[in-house]
Structure 1
Amino acid sequence: MPSLNPEGFLRVGAYDLEYRMIGPPPADAPTIVMLHEGLGCAALWGEFPDRLQAATGAGVLVYSRAGYGASTPVKLPRPLDYMQVEALEILPELLDRAGFRRGLLLGHSDGASIAAIYAGGVQDHRLRGVAMIAPHFVVEDISVASIAQIRKDYETSGLRAKLQRWHRDVDNAFYGWNSAWLDPKFRNWDISDYLAYIRVPVAIVQGAADQYGTLRQIEIASEECYCPVEVTILPGTGHSPHREAPDAVLDTISEFAGRILFSDQGSRGQAV
């Protein structure tokens, strides 16, 4: 397939998904595919993807899932298994359309959970590793409490106006995520079974002061994974370590990616 343009849309099923391709295309180098959090989008990664590309020499693909950024909105309410649907139905087609040949997934929060489901559920030979920032494998009380609070903030403070800058349909983005997590039936959501089927190295970055999850998530990964799991816990850091401690996260992820994706420094930036 032809090389990706630096930015544009990929048609996946019924959705047009916006993307940015930073650095070499998948045909020319390994690719790091970044999956955003529950209120994120491609643009909300800020400069982190560009810095990651510069640090690794890999191509970096960021995209907005349906309902986020400039991508097609989704029908609400989202199904409670929306992350499984994303990982097992949407992401495989997106990677194919992007021309993904070899690389790793890097996800934050919901995106990290989607990456874990994909790695355990698809068994893609092209995938060489998974990096997760603040992942969720089960629902905790702290998660529900913080998500209930952010709904109040969205409806009573300036949060909606701030998010509106980033999303084509801000209510679609917010309530699609928030209503699913606050549904009482969602308390039974548990993706830990997928972890036992991951066959590639895993790196997890977790803020010690994460307001959406505790170190129990790390314990679950350590208990369930048979693959190597490297854990970096950042003290005094909340749910978005790549924003709160970007240098530390960049160092951790770029070292992991370089070691996993490139056989030696001389091959950096070249497909192998």
Structure 2
Amino acid sequence: MHSTYKQEHFVSTPTGDIYVKSWAPAASSQASTTAPVVMFHDSLGSVELWREFPEQLALSLGRKVIAYDRPGFGRSYIRTEKLETDFILNEASGPFAAIRSELGIEKFIALGHSVGGAMAAVCAASFTDQCIALITEAAQAFVEDRTVEGIRDAKQVFAQDGQIDRLRKYHGEKAEWVLRAWTDTWLSEEFQHWTLKEILTKVRCPVLAIHGEDDEFGSGAHPELYTSLPSGPCFLELLKDCGHVPHREKPDVVTAAIERFCREHVG
């Protein structure tokens, strides 16, 4: 059984510390010299909610994998203010830029799940010379009716007794803020016109978009938009019998797709 070296960091920023964890395959001599994968979590996510996936990916790719808790999530610093409507755009110049500088990340692969996929795309568009590949998983590129309906349904579920405890397991006292940051932002009137269409035209690297056919938060129009870019080669993996969390529902299929994409199209 192969193993990984795991490291934990807290990156200091003017507003607080950001928690970062990395996995490097112990058996790979190239892991320290190849571009790492940087992972961007979803609206309710955290480093720990990726579960075994980062380690599985590191072993499959022979690359270091880096994940972090966005401010207000997981083990990163507490936020109490309302989430800004341009928070997706701000990730590239804010938390990600701080982590990239602190850890000395030069070339990188951006990989994001759900809204994290949109953030990964913004980082790819913002660092065109450094981002060598973009991988999205169940990522949104705009707000559609299915997204809004799915979030409304989830908000009702979390309003039931005990449901917020599912978030407290990973976010502690931040759980209520995490939930509001997701539902209040995406259901607000000012966010309904959000789109990545213009930003995506600036992406210049190969793209892999993974999406479940049964995704309750976004139709196939999203990955189609991600893979219709004037960038390098673009590939769409539409998974049957799969919902919004492909890396948990079909981890082996997702890992294999990413490994194949990186082997054939990423240096």
TM-score (norm 2): 0.91
Give the structure 2 partner of residue 270 of structure 1: none
Residue 74 (structure 1) aligned with residue 75 (structure 2): no
Deviation at 1:236, TM superposition (A): 1.1
Deviation at 1:73, TM superposition (A): 1.8
DSSP 3-state at the match of 1:167? helix
Q: After superposition, what is the alpha-carbon deviation per residue over 1:141-193, rounded to whole angstroms, capped at 9, x for unaligned?
A: 01011111111111114331111100031112111122100111111111111
Deviation at 1:109, TM superposition (A): 0.4
Which aligned pairs between 1:111-260 and structure 2 lie closer than 5 A?
111-120=116-125, 122-168=126-172, 169-260=174-265
Report percent identity of matched pairs. 27
Q: After superposition, what is the alpha-carbon deviation per residue over 1:106-165, rounded to whole angstroms, capped at 9, x for unaligned?
A: 100011000111212x13422110100011111010101111111111111433111110
Unaligned 5+ runs, structure 1? 263-272
Q: After superposition, what is the alpha-carbon deviation per residue over 1:4-63, rounded to whole angstroms, capped at 9, x for unaligned?
A: 981121113313111111116985432011111110000100000001011111001011
- Which residue, out of 56, 59, 75, partners 1:51? 56
In the alignment of these two chains, the number of paired residues is 258
Residue 8 (structure 1) aligned with residue 9 (structure 2): yes
Letter in 1 for 2:13: V
Q: Is the 8 A contact 2:75 2:171 kept in 1?
A: yes
Give the structure 2 partner of residue 17 of structure 1: 18
DSSP 3-state at the match of 1:61? strand
Deviation at 1:102, TM superposition (A): 2.0
Q: For residues 261 and 222 of structure 1, what CA distance do their matches in structure 2 show?
A: 16
Q: After superposition, what is the alpha-carbon deviation per residue over 1:61-86, rounded to whole angstroms, capped at 9, x for unaligned?
A: 01110011011122321011111111
Q: For residues 47 and 71 of structure 2, what CA distance do their matches in structure 1 show?
A: 11
Deviation at 1:254, TM superposition (A): 1.8
Q: For residues 189 and 123 of structure 1, what CA distance do their matches in structure 2 show?
A: 21
Q: Is the 8 A contact 1:9 1:17 kept in 2?
A: yes
- Pick which of 150-159 and 202-211 moved more: 150-159
Give the structure 2 partner of residue 61 of structure 1: 66
Letter in 1 for 2:83: R
Q: For residues 244 and 38 of structure 1, what CA distance do their matches in structure 2 show?
A: 18
DSSP 3-state at the match of 1:255? helix
Deviation at 1:260, TM superposition (A): 4.2
Residue 90 (structure 1) aligned with residue 91 (structure 2): no
Deviation at 1:224, TM superposition (A): 4.2
Deviation at 1:103, TM superposition (A): 2.3
Q: Is the 8 A contact 2:210 2:223 kept in 1?
A: no
DSSP 3-state at the match of 2:22? strand
- Relative distance call for 1:39 and 1:252 in structure 2 (3 A) is same
DSSP 3-state at the match of 1:156? coil
